[in-house]
Structure 1
């Protein structure tokens, strides 16, 4: 080849590379500026607020309630070394309220009673009123109740319990409503990415709420603990204003969407909101793939709610680990699940878009990863004994794999029946919320004899592993990634 030909070839290759790079940048810019991307960002922030509503009470309760002096002195577990505990930042050693442990449990549990009772009616209303209205109202009404929390606490514990139950009712609308909305906005090959991005907001909220609320509780203003509720509520109201202006029920109703994006989404979702459709209750309730989702959802929430409730207790009672003084390490499992959720979504839809895996395989594989591996690492953490760092690292690695559930059962209802995604999620979440009661009760009963015994805690971990494996195996047998016949919209 002559030098001239070689030079021409190099210039041509360079031009091709520049064109590919320009096309990629244009495609990326187009995607980031799309209306469905705006929806996913608003959903991410909304779910972060939703989970902050859930856990702010459990964090603030430590400073709200008077603690017996015996609980503040000496290590919990005499067999493990004690981490340096910094008590200089604690604002209120005596607390404000004299509530028993049972009363505190009622305050925390009241949310889940309201949440479970309202779940299926909320899912039904989302199909009739619309996902935008139900999701937005669910968050802003919970925000108003959150702002009233300090006042309710001062009025009396039963006022607070009633208010927390109402918060559960208002928040019950959010997840089914957003799934209903997702069915109208998410193209087939973007479902894993979209679902994992929005779901990761839940873990992001869990990750940042603990240190922020913990810091606010140390301030002297109003005794510290009410500040978290006020900040949480005000941020949610600001979010709601943005939600009202930026989000619309469907591509056809969005005034600023491009014609190209509207046509693309409508061709992929196969949903026609101009034709009211009766909910096929019998088909949904007798569907084996829906049973698979219910089993996987229960197992997922059993592990998630269990980690949220027992992890701080395990750190304190067995490892003598002070969460307040070691915030970064204690938050590591939640950082891991946040990263794992986003990574699994990107990889799953990349493989699906290149036809390397079927949707059914992708959903089952992700669910197996998110149920079997975290359970193994949970058991390894239990057998780590007093090795704090090793135990936390095992938990962090396990929660990294746990994030794959966002591309497993969590978005599977969009595959089966995008038109009825909200109601399917409401049904599965109704049963999954039972784990919010069962997981803490099982831990309490198994460790009641000696809460500081690592052996008894390992027994509890085996229960969590067994539930996870059973849920994952059921989904593996019954799950499907195909659009169901009863969910197909008939023309004419």
Structure 2
């Protein structure tokens, strides 16, 4: 490559190519995570989801291509939520270590381990629910490593004017992954059997992790394929790009910072809503629309697909507003966070109070999930604005708090569905809307977008 070439822009730049690679790594990771919510229907048979014994007359439990297990709704809920426990444990340690150890190794190894566990999951299911739980917890640890560590990539690779689009491009894979999984899983389950779902997504993840090891470098200065112009553009625009490696994190200042808590609580609300839509969307569609597993997969995939598109557009729109100086940076972050938390709350209330027709239900479900994508240009990238030196640690902390919301919401939803099937969805969605609005108000009051005093070079507070 000619080192004298001018800096590349748009889709021709190496940094955009790496964002696209990370995008597909996220797609693969989330596909491995999301497919279980639909394969569970096939693994326990349709009647078991309602708490009844498996209908062995419809499909023999010993069928080698599509085995069926007699797992109660309680066991199913534990299996579905178990991956979150592993992710919870990983967040803060990985956030701290991402400022010290190579991101290349952390992301690549995490994706590879998650993919290998996906390949082993059908075998684990045959051995019992306990081994499935263990596999999913281990997958949570590996996926939590990828989820947190990847954010540190953009402290070295993203010029400030492109943070929105590069971050949204890579993170949008988290929205596309469930769409791909749900779209493909129904067809694969019917045509080849549910175990093949895990084999396909696991193999794809292994291939992508190997590609990551080959193509990604932690520092633009070390990449053999980057032009001199692009290298200078990146390094010149990031004077503060030094990481926290070798430097203590100001824990007390972080934990007493209202902007950090504003981001954390909005992450809590986002994760609460996302987990409800992520884990229970197929269940709600089956309850409200009465469709088979293949149609359920198609309908469940549509909201995530729209969220993927909207998150990419949000990143470009945020950078466009910033470049044209239409709004200040904090105004942009608050605008997109408002759209990402308030609109789902309003739409889910419409789902409860408006008609229950097929088109109306599907439209509101799609928009509820899709509008969450606005958050990628709001509170999700906000930690990079206030503390680029400790970005990895802050992402670990805020995602940890967010994950507690997701774990609480998924567990609580399972309890409500099991105890009160008549009014359960009203309770689940109303609580979701209330948490979104409350967290948003706190964010609008206390969020900031300038580097905080405790995140500057002069800070020497120790752990």
The normalised TM-score by structure 2 is 0.89
Name structure 1 gaps, 5 residues minimum. 1-25, 74-86
Separation in structure 1 between the aligned mates of residue 43 and residue 429 of structure 2, nearest angstrom: 30
Deviation of 1:357 after TM superposition, in Å, equals 1.0
Task: Find the residue that maps to 1:99 and give its secondary structure.
Answer: coil
- Does the CA-based 8 Å contact 2:41-2:49 persist in structure 1? no
Superimposed CA distance per residue, residues 372-427 of structure 1 (whole angstroms, 9 cap, x where no aligned partner)? 11110111011223212112112223333321100001111111122211110110
Give the distance between the partners of 1:144 and 1:466, measured in 2 at CA. 39
1:36 aligns with 2:4: no
Say whether 1:467 aligns with 2:446: no
The Cα RMSD (Å) is: 2.6
Distance 1:306 1:68, change over 3 A: closer
Quick check: 150-159 or 374-383, which moved more? 150-159
Q: 2:222 maps to which residue? A: 253
Contact 1:315 1:322 in 2 (8 A): no
Alignment of 1:235-246 (within 5 A): 235-246=204-215
| Local SS of the residue matching 2:457 | coil
Number of residues paired by the alignment? 446
What's the counterpart of residue 476 of structure 1? 444
Cα separation, 2, equivalents of 1:384 and 1:275: 53
**Equivalent residue for 2:339?**
369
Match of 1:179 in 2: 151
Spell out the pairing of 1:35-114 with structure 2 (5 A cutoff).
35-68=14-47, 95-114=67-86
CA distance in 2, matches of 1:276, 1:118: 20
Asked if 2 retains the 8 angstrom alpha-carbon contact of 1:306 and 1:439, the reply is yes
- In 2: Cα distance, 1:68 partner to 1:53 partner: 25
For residues 322-353 of structure 1, give each alpha carbon's deviation from its aligned partner in whole angstroms, at most 9, with x where no partner exists.
Answer: 45236544432222211211111111100101
CA–CA distance in structure 1, aligned partners of residues 243 and 438 of structure 2: 38
Instruction: Tell me which of 195, 202, 209 is aligned to 2:181.
Output: 209
2:150 counterpart of 1:150: no
1:31-430 aligned at under 5 Å gives the runs: 31-68=10-47, 95-220=67-192, 224-269=193-238, 270-272=240-242, 276-322=246-292, 324-325=294-295, 327-430=297-400
- Post-superposition shift, 1:92? 9.3
**Deviation for aligned residue 1:307:** 0.8
d(CA) in 2 for partners of 1:402, 1:100: 32
Q: Structure 1 residue 487: deviation in Å?
A: 2.0
Separation in 2, partners of 1:70, 1:191 = 43
* Aligned counterparts of 1:367 and 1:42: Cα–Cα separation in 2: 26
- How far apart are residue 458 of structure 1 and its match? 2.2
Deviation at 1:261, TM superposition (A): 1.5
Specify the structure having the higher radius of gyration (Cα).
1
Deviations 1:16-40 (A, max 9, x none): xxxxxxxxxx999643232211110
Residue 436 (structure 1) aligns with:
406
Answer yes or no: is the 8 Å Cα contact 2:48–2:71 preserved in 1: no
